[in-house]
Amino acid sequence: MGGVSTEELTNNIKTITELEVYRVKDSVLVPTWREIGGWEQQDLEDLINEMDTWSPPHDVGIKSANILLLGPQGAGKLSFFNTITSVFRGRITRQAVCGSSEQGLTLKYRMHSVQGTALTKPMKFKLCDTRGIEQNQGIDGTEVNYILEGNIPNGYQFNPSKPISPDVSGFVSTPTMDDKIHCVCFVIDGSTVTVMSEKMLEKIKSLQTKVCQKDLPQLVLVTKIDKVCAHVEEDISTVFQSVAIQELVDKVSDMFGLPRNHVLPVKNYEKELTIRNDVSILALLSLRQILHATEDFMFNLLDLMDKDRKDTESWK
Protein backbone atom coordinates (compact mmCIF):
# COMPACT_ATOMS: atom_id res chain seq x y z
CA MET A 1 0.00 0.00 0.00
CA GLY A 2 3.01 2.26 -0.48
CA GLY A 3 3.31 3.06 3.23
CA VAL A 4 -0.34 4.17 3.60
CA SER A 5 -1.99 2.70 6.69
CA THR A 6 -5.41 1.04 6.55
CA GLU A 7 -6.79 3.79 8.81
CA GLU A 8 -5.62 6.48 6.39
CA LEU A 9 -7.00 4.65 3.38
CA THR A 10 -10.44 4.10 4.91
CA ASN A 11 -10.62 7.42 6.81
CA ASN A 12 -10.82 5.15 9.82
CA ILE A 13 -14.33 4.06 8.86
CA LYS A 14 -14.68 0.55 10.23
CA THR A 15 -17.85 -0.38 8.37
CA ILE A 16 -15.91 -1.22 5.18
CA THR A 17 -16.17 -4.97 4.77
CA GLU A 18 -14.36 -5.46 1.50
CA LEU A 19 -11.75 -3.41 -0.29
CA GLU A 20 -10.35 -4.12 -3.72
CA VAL A 21 -7.17 -2.36 -4.76
CA TYR A 22 -6.38 -1.93 -8.44
CA ARG A 23 -3.13 -0.73 -9.91
CA VAL A 24 -3.57 1.60 -12.83
CA LYS A 25 -0.85 0.91 -15.36
CA ASP A 26 0.35 3.63 -17.70
CA SER A 27 -0.05 2.43 -21.25
CA VAL A 28 2.93 2.75 -23.56
CA LEU A 29 3.28 3.05 -27.31
CA VAL A 30 5.53 0.69 -29.27
CA PRO A 31 6.23 0.17 -33.00
CA THR A 32 3.07 -0.80 -34.92
CA TRP A 33 1.92 -4.35 -34.12
CA ARG A 34 -0.78 -4.53 -36.80
CA GLU A 35 -0.05 -3.16 -40.24
CA ILE A 36 -2.83 -1.21 -41.91
CA GLY A 37 -2.80 1.33 -44.76
CA GLY A 38 -2.61 4.84 -43.38
CA TRP A 39 -4.66 7.44 -41.54
CA GLU A 40 -4.85 10.13 -44.22
CA GLN A 41 -7.90 11.55 -46.03
CA GLN A 42 -6.99 9.49 -49.12
CA ASP A 43 -6.95 6.27 -47.03
CA LEU A 44 -10.44 7.08 -45.77
CA GLU A 45 -11.69 7.79 -49.29
CA ASP A 46 -10.21 4.51 -50.58
CA LEU A 47 -11.95 2.55 -47.81
CA ILE A 48 -15.27 4.34 -48.40
CA ASN A 49 -15.03 3.58 -52.11
CA GLU A 50 -14.24 -0.10 -51.43
CA MET A 51 -17.28 -0.56 -49.14
CA ASP A 52 -19.52 1.49 -51.44
CA THR A 53 -18.86 -0.87 -54.33
CA TRP A 54 -18.71 -4.13 -52.34
CA SER A 55 -21.23 -6.80 -53.23
CA PRO A 56 -21.63 -10.54 -52.55
CA PRO A 57 -19.97 -12.81 -55.15
CA HIS A 58 -22.31 -12.71 -58.14
CA ASP A 59 -22.88 -16.44 -58.64
CA VAL A 60 -23.97 -17.07 -55.07
CA GLY A 61 -27.28 -15.32 -55.80
CA ILE A 62 -27.46 -13.36 -52.54
CA LYS A 63 -28.54 -9.72 -52.93
CA SER A 64 -27.15 -8.37 -49.69
CA ALA A 65 -24.99 -9.78 -46.86
CA ASN A 66 -26.62 -10.00 -43.43
CA ILE A 67 -24.19 -9.34 -40.59
CA LEU A 68 -25.50 -10.07 -37.11
CA LEU A 69 -24.29 -7.91 -34.19
CA LEU A 70 -24.48 -9.96 -31.01
CA GLY A 71 -23.27 -8.94 -27.58
CA PRO A 72 -23.98 -7.97 -23.99
CA GLN A 73 -26.30 -5.08 -23.18
CA GLY A 74 -24.69 -1.70 -23.65
CA ALA A 75 -21.66 -3.09 -25.54
CA GLY A 76 -22.15 -0.66 -28.43
CA LYS A 77 -24.07 -2.60 -31.12
CA LEU A 78 -26.37 0.25 -32.13
CA SER A 79 -23.47 2.71 -31.77
CA PHE A 80 -21.41 0.68 -34.28
CA PHE A 81 -24.24 0.88 -36.81
CA ASN A 82 -24.54 4.64 -36.13
CA THR A 83 -20.77 5.01 -36.55
CA ILE A 84 -20.80 3.30 -39.95
CA THR A 85 -23.81 5.36 -41.08
CA SER A 86 -22.07 8.56 -39.94
CA VAL A 87 -18.96 7.75 -41.98
CA PHE A 88 -20.96 7.40 -45.20
CA ARG A 89 -23.22 10.36 -44.46
CA GLY A 90 -20.20 12.57 -43.72
CA ARG A 91 -21.74 13.82 -40.47
CA ILE A 92 -22.75 12.36 -37.13
CA THR A 93 -26.07 10.56 -37.42
CA ARG A 94 -28.03 8.72 -34.81
CA GLN A 95 -30.68 6.20 -35.57
CA ALA A 96 -33.79 7.29 -33.62
CA VAL A 97 -33.85 4.99 -30.63
CA CYS A 98 -37.17 3.53 -31.61
CA GLY A 99 -37.26 -0.10 -30.66
CA SER A 100 -35.43 0.80 -27.48
CA SER A 101 -36.57 1.14 -23.90
CA GLU A 102 -36.16 4.43 -22.01
CA GLN A 103 -32.70 3.29 -20.93
CA GLY A 104 -31.74 2.89 -24.57
CA LEU A 105 -31.80 -0.91 -24.53
CA THR A 106 -32.65 -2.36 -27.92
CA LEU A 107 -35.81 -4.45 -27.80
CA LYS A 108 -36.44 -4.89 -31.51
CA TYR A 109 -34.70 -6.98 -34.16
CA ARG A 110 -33.62 -4.59 -36.91
CA MET A 111 -31.93 -5.42 -40.18
CA HIS A 112 -30.44 -1.99 -40.88
CA SER A 113 -29.23 -1.12 -44.33
CA VAL A 114 -26.66 1.64 -44.74
CA GLN A 115 -26.92 4.25 -47.49
CA GLY A 116 -23.76 4.58 -49.58
CA THR A 117 -22.18 7.95 -50.24
CA ALA A 118 -24.45 8.56 -53.23
CA LEU A 119 -27.45 8.26 -50.85
CA THR A 120 -29.49 6.88 -53.71
CA LYS A 121 -29.31 3.24 -52.81
CA PRO A 122 -28.24 1.15 -49.83
CA MET A 123 -24.94 -0.70 -49.86
CA LYS A 124 -24.91 -4.47 -50.30
CA PHE A 125 -24.76 -5.40 -46.63
CA LYS A 126 -27.06 -5.07 -43.64
CA LEU A 127 -26.11 -4.71 -40.00
CA CYS A 128 -28.62 -6.70 -37.94
CA ASP A 129 -29.11 -5.35 -34.43
CA THR A 130 -30.57 -7.49 -31.68
CA ARG A 131 -31.54 -7.36 -28.07
CA GLY A 132 -28.46 -7.66 -25.82
CA ILE A 133 -27.19 -10.78 -24.10
CA GLU A 134 -27.85 -10.72 -20.35
CA GLN A 135 -26.75 -13.04 -17.60
CA ASN A 136 -30.18 -14.24 -16.62
CA GLN A 137 -32.45 -13.17 -19.44
CA GLY A 138 -31.84 -11.25 -22.70
CA ILE A 139 -31.54 -13.00 -26.02
CA ASP A 140 -31.22 -16.78 -25.74
CA GLY A 141 -29.88 -19.65 -27.82
CA THR A 142 -33.23 -20.55 -29.40
CA GLU A 143 -33.84 -16.94 -30.46
CA VAL A 144 -30.32 -16.68 -31.89
CA ASN A 145 -30.89 -19.89 -33.83
CA TYR A 146 -34.09 -18.51 -35.36
CA ILE A 147 -32.28 -15.28 -36.28
CA LEU A 148 -29.36 -17.16 -37.88
CA GLU A 149 -31.82 -19.22 -39.92
CA GLY A 150 -33.68 -16.09 -41.12
CA ASN A 151 -36.97 -16.94 -39.38
CA ILE A 152 -37.30 -13.65 -37.53
CA PRO A 153 -38.92 -10.75 -39.41
CA ASN A 154 -37.23 -7.36 -39.56
CA GLY A 155 -38.80 -5.15 -36.85
CA TYR A 156 -39.77 -8.04 -34.58
CA GLN A 157 -40.40 -6.80 -31.03
CA PHE A 158 -38.75 -9.06 -28.47
CA ASN A 159 -41.09 -10.03 -25.68
CA PRO A 160 -39.27 -11.27 -22.56
CA SER A 161 -42.37 -13.07 -21.32
CA LYS A 162 -43.06 -14.78 -24.66
CA PRO A 163 -40.06 -16.40 -26.35
CA ILE A 164 -40.00 -16.51 -30.15
CA SER A 165 -41.80 -19.49 -31.62
CA PRO A 166 -43.19 -20.36 -35.05
CA ASP A 167 -46.59 -18.91 -34.01
CA VAL A 168 -45.37 -15.32 -33.52
CA SER A 169 -46.74 -12.95 -36.11
CA GLY A 170 -44.53 -12.51 -39.18
CA PHE A 171 -42.47 -15.68 -38.48
CA VAL A 172 -40.66 -16.54 -41.72
CA SER A 173 -41.21 -20.28 -41.97
CA THR A 174 -39.45 -20.84 -45.29
CA PRO A 175 -36.51 -18.43 -45.28
CA THR A 176 -34.32 -18.01 -48.37
CA MET A 177 -30.56 -17.40 -48.41
CA ASP A 178 -31.37 -13.66 -48.51
CA ASP A 179 -33.07 -13.90 -45.09
CA LYS A 180 -30.31 -15.87 -43.36
CA ILE A 181 -27.33 -14.48 -41.46
CA HIS A 182 -24.01 -14.73 -43.33
CA CYS A 183 -21.58 -13.51 -40.68
CA VAL A 184 -21.72 -13.04 -36.89
CA CYS A 185 -19.97 -10.21 -35.15
CA PHE A 186 -19.77 -10.40 -31.39
CA VAL A 187 -19.67 -6.90 -29.91
CA ILE A 188 -18.04 -6.53 -26.51
CA ASP A 189 -17.09 -3.62 -24.30
CA GLY A 190 -13.28 -3.52 -24.24
CA SER A 191 -13.23 -1.54 -21.00
CA THR A 192 -15.00 -4.26 -19.00
CA VAL A 193 -14.24 -7.50 -20.86
CA THR A 194 -11.44 -8.47 -18.47
CA VAL A 195 -13.92 -8.47 -15.57
CA MET A 196 -16.72 -10.23 -17.44
CA SER A 197 -18.59 -12.67 -15.18
CA GLU A 198 -18.19 -16.42 -15.67
CA LYS A 199 -21.91 -16.69 -16.31
CA MET A 200 -21.86 -14.12 -19.11
CA LEU A 201 -18.82 -15.78 -20.66
CA GLU A 202 -20.57 -19.16 -20.56
CA LYS A 203 -23.62 -17.68 -22.26
CA ILE A 204 -21.49 -16.14 -25.00
CA LYS A 205 -19.61 -19.45 -25.46
CA SER A 206 -22.88 -21.34 -25.86
CA LEU A 207 -23.98 -18.86 -28.55
CA GLN A 208 -20.59 -19.24 -30.24
CA THR A 209 -21.18 -23.00 -30.40
CA LYS A 210 -24.45 -22.39 -32.27
CA VAL A 211 -22.65 -20.11 -34.75
CA CYS A 212 -19.89 -22.71 -35.23
CA GLN A 213 -22.43 -25.47 -35.87
CA LYS A 214 -23.70 -23.47 -38.85
CA ASP A 215 -20.14 -22.89 -40.14
CA LEU A 216 -20.72 -19.15 -40.08
CA PRO A 217 -17.71 -16.83 -39.82
CA GLN A 218 -17.34 -15.04 -36.50
CA LEU A 219 -15.41 -11.95 -35.51
CA VAL A 220 -15.29 -9.81 -32.37
CA LEU A 221 -15.66 -6.05 -32.34
CA VAL A 222 -14.02 -4.71 -29.19
CA THR A 223 -15.59 -1.30 -28.48
CA LYS A 224 -14.81 1.59 -26.12
CA ILE A 225 -11.05 1.32 -26.63
CA ASP A 226 -10.88 5.02 -25.80
CA LYS A 227 -11.51 3.96 -22.21
CA VAL A 228 -8.67 1.43 -22.25
CA CYS A 229 -5.68 3.55 -23.22
CA ALA A 230 -5.15 7.28 -22.65
CA HIS A 231 -3.01 7.61 -25.82
CA VAL A 232 -5.79 6.09 -27.89
CA GLU A 233 -8.41 8.32 -26.27
CA GLU A 234 -6.41 11.33 -27.41
CA ASP A 235 -5.55 10.02 -30.86
CA ILE A 236 -7.30 6.90 -32.21
CA SER A 237 -4.59 6.41 -34.84
CA THR A 238 -2.22 5.19 -32.08
CA VAL A 239 -4.42 2.11 -31.58
CA PHE A 240 -2.04 -0.35 -33.25
CA GLN A 241 0.93 1.01 -31.30
CA SER A 242 -0.76 0.73 -27.91
CA VAL A 243 0.47 -2.08 -25.67
CA ALA A 244 -2.79 -1.94 -23.66
CA ILE A 245 -4.87 -2.54 -26.82
CA GLN A 246 -2.48 -5.24 -28.03
CA GLU A 247 -2.87 -7.07 -24.69
CA LEU A 248 -6.63 -6.62 -24.87
CA VAL A 249 -6.76 -8.11 -28.38
CA ASP A 250 -4.64 -11.09 -27.22
CA LYS A 251 -6.91 -11.65 -24.24
CA VAL A 252 -10.13 -11.47 -26.30
CA SER A 253 -8.64 -13.77 -28.93
CA ASP A 254 -7.93 -16.34 -26.17
CA MET A 255 -11.38 -15.92 -24.61
CA PHE A 256 -13.19 -16.44 -27.91
CA GLY A 257 -10.77 -18.99 -29.34
CA LEU A 258 -10.48 -16.88 -32.51
CA PRO A 259 -7.41 -15.75 -34.45
CA ARG A 260 -6.16 -12.30 -33.51
CA ASN A 261 -6.98 -10.83 -36.90
CA HIS A 262 -10.64 -11.61 -36.18
CA VAL A 263 -10.53 -9.37 -33.10
CA LEU A 264 -11.21 -5.80 -34.18
CA PRO A 265 -10.76 -2.86 -31.82
CA VAL A 266 -13.12 0.07 -32.50
CA LYS A 267 -14.09 3.39 -31.06
CA ASN A 268 -17.66 4.35 -31.85
CA TYR A 269 -18.90 7.87 -32.32
CA GLU A 270 -20.64 8.75 -29.06
CA LYS A 271 -19.74 12.20 -27.74
CA GLU A 272 -18.37 13.70 -30.98
CA LEU A 273 -20.22 16.42 -32.86
CA THR A 274 -18.24 16.08 -36.07
CA ILE A 275 -16.64 13.14 -37.82
CA ARG A 276 -12.92 12.47 -37.50
CA ASN A 277 -10.66 10.59 -39.92
CA ASP A 278 -9.07 8.37 -37.24
CA VAL A 279 -12.44 7.14 -35.85
CA SER A 280 -13.90 6.64 -39.34
CA ILE A 281 -10.86 4.80 -40.72
CA LEU A 282 -10.72 2.39 -37.77
CA ALA A 283 -14.46 1.63 -38.11
CA LEU A 284 -14.09 0.97 -41.85
CA LEU A 285 -11.01 -1.22 -41.35
CA SER A 286 -13.18 -3.39 -39.10
CA LEU A 287 -16.04 -3.37 -41.57
CA ARG A 288 -13.61 -4.43 -44.30
CA GLN A 289 -12.44 -7.45 -42.25
CA ILE A 290 -16.10 -8.37 -41.63
CA LEU A 291 -16.93 -8.17 -45.33
CA HIS A 292 -13.86 -10.23 -46.25
CA ALA A 293 -14.93 -12.98 -43.81
CA THR A 294 -18.47 -12.81 -45.24
CA GLU A 295 -17.10 -13.09 -48.77
CA ASP A 296 -14.99 -16.15 -47.80
CA PHE A 297 -18.13 -17.79 -46.38
CA MET A 298 -20.02 -17.09 -49.59
CA PHE A 299 -17.23 -18.50 -51.75
CA ASN A 300 -17.37 -21.66 -49.62
CA LEU A 301 -21.11 -21.79 -50.26
CA LEU A 302 -20.42 -21.55 -53.98
CA ASP A 303 -17.99 -24.48 -53.75
CA LEU A 304 -20.60 -26.53 -51.91
CA MET A 305 -23.29 -25.61 -54.46
CA ASP A 306 -20.91 -26.59 -57.24
CA LYS A 307 -20.12 -29.91 -55.58
CA ASP A 308 -23.85 -30.61 -55.06
CA ARG A 309 -24.51 -29.88 -58.73
CA LYS A 310 -21.70 -32.20 -59.87
CA ASP A 311 -22.90 -34.96 -57.49
CA THR A 312 -26.45 -34.66 -58.84
CA GLU A 313 -25.17 -34.80 -62.44
CA SER A 314 -23.09 -37.89 -61.74
CA TRP A 315 -26.15 -39.60 -60.23
CA LYS A 316 -28.23 -38.98 -63.36
Nearer to ligand GTP, 73 or 208 (CB): 73
Does position 151 interact with ligand GTP (CB under 6 A)? The reply is no
Restricted to residues 43-72, the positions that interact with ligand GTP (CB under 6 A) are 71
Which residue of 61, 74, 122, 153 would you call a contact of ligand GTP, by CB under 6 A?
74
DSSP state for residue 29 in the 8-state scheme: B
Q: Which uninterrupted H or E stretch holds 113? A: strand 110-115
CB of 262 to ligand GTP, least distance (A): 19
CB of 223 to ligand GTP, least distance (A): 4
Nearer to Mg ion, 241 or 268 (CB): 268
Burial label for 220, CB within 10 Å (0-12, 13-18, 19+), is: buried
Residue 149 burial (CB count, 10 A): 14
DSSP state for residue 66 in the 8-state scheme: E
Q: How many residues bind ligand GTP (CB under 6 A)?
A: 20
Query: Which partner from the list ligand GTP, Mg ion, none does 218 bind, CB cut-off 5 to 8 Å by kind?
Result: none
CB of 222 to ligand GTP, least distance (A): 9
Restricted to residues 266-285, the positions that interact with ligand GTP (CB under 6 A) are 267-268, 270
Kindly report the backbone phi and psi dihedral angles of residue 180, in degrees, each rounded to the nearest multiple of 5, phi listed first: -75, 165
Does position 73 interact with ligand GTP (CB under 6 A)? The reply is yes
Q: In what order do the strands lie in the sheet with 65-70?
A: 110-115, 122-129, 65-70, 183-189, 218-223, 263-265
Residues 6+ apart with CB under 8 A from 176: 150
Is residue 58 within 8 A of residue 51, CB to CB? The reply is: no
* Residues linked to residue 157 through DSSP beta bridges, in sequence order: 108
Nearer to Mg ion, 15 or 101 (CB): 101
DSSP code string of 170-203:
T--SS--TTTS--EEEEEEETTTGGG--HHHHHH
* Residues linked to residue 219 through DSSP beta bridges, in sequence order: 185
* Residues linked to residue 218 through DSSP beta bridges, in sequence order: 184
Does position 223 interact with ligand GTP (CB under 6 A)? The reply is yes
Kindly report the backbone phi and psi dihedral angles of residue 82, in degrees, each rounded to the nearest multiple of 5, phi listed first: -60, -35
Q: Which residue is nearest to ligand GTP (CB)?
A: 132
Does position 241 interact with ligand GTP (CB under 6 A)? The reply is no
Restricted to residues 66-125, the positions that interact with Mg ion (CB under 5 A) are 77-78, 106
Which residue of 67, 85, 164, 226 would you call a contact of ligand GTP, by CB under 6 A?
226
Nearer to ligand GTP, 227 or 302 (CB): 227
Does position 75 interact with ligand GTP (CB under 6 A)? The reply is yes
Nearer to ligand GTP, 105 or 275 (CB): 105
Restricted to residues 78-137, the positions that interact with ligand GTP (CB under 6 A) are 78-79, 104-106, 132
Q: At residue 289, what is the residue type?
A: Q
CB of 139 to ligand GTP, least distance (A): 9
What's the longest Cα–Cα distance across the chain?
87
Tell me the chain's radius of gyration from C-alpha atoms: 22
Nearer to Mg ion, 105 or 177 (CB): 105
Contacting residues toward ligand GTP, per CB under 6 A:
71, 73-79, 104-106, 132, 187, 223-224, 226-227, 267-268, 270
Interface ranges with Mg ion (CB under 5 A): 77-78, 106
